[in-house]
Amino acid sequence: MQTMTMTLNNAIKNFAALPPQILQGDEVVNVTTDEGNIILISEDSFKSLVLMNELNANSDFKDSLLRGLHASPSDLVHESEVKW
C-alpha cells in the first residue's frame, strides 16, 4: 500500500483523478490541511480496517488465533476430522 500526500488545494484540483488511483492502485491519499489531515482510502481497505479492529477488540478470538499460531502439529486436528 502506497501513501501519497498532498495539500487540500491540490486534492481539490486533482479530485477526479484520485478515485481511480485509490481504487486500482490500493493507494492511500493523505490530504493535509491547517486543521489536521484527512486520509482517503478505498471502501475495501476501510472494511478491512474495521474488521481488523473488531477482531483485535475480541480478546478471546485473538488469544485463540495466537494459540493456534504457536501450536505444534500434533496439537492440530486434521480437516477430515472436523464436522461442519
- pLDDT at 55 exceeding the cut of 90: no
Q: Is 75 exposed, middle or buried (0-12, 13-18, 19+ CB in 10 A)?
A: exposed
The pTM for the full model equals: 0.67
Domain residue limits, the chain: 2-41, 44-73
Question: Domain 2-41 has what CATH class?
Answer: alpha beta
Residue located via cell numbers 486534492: 11
Confidence of residue 2 (pLDDT cuts 50, 70, 90): confident
- What pLDDT does residue 8 have? 97
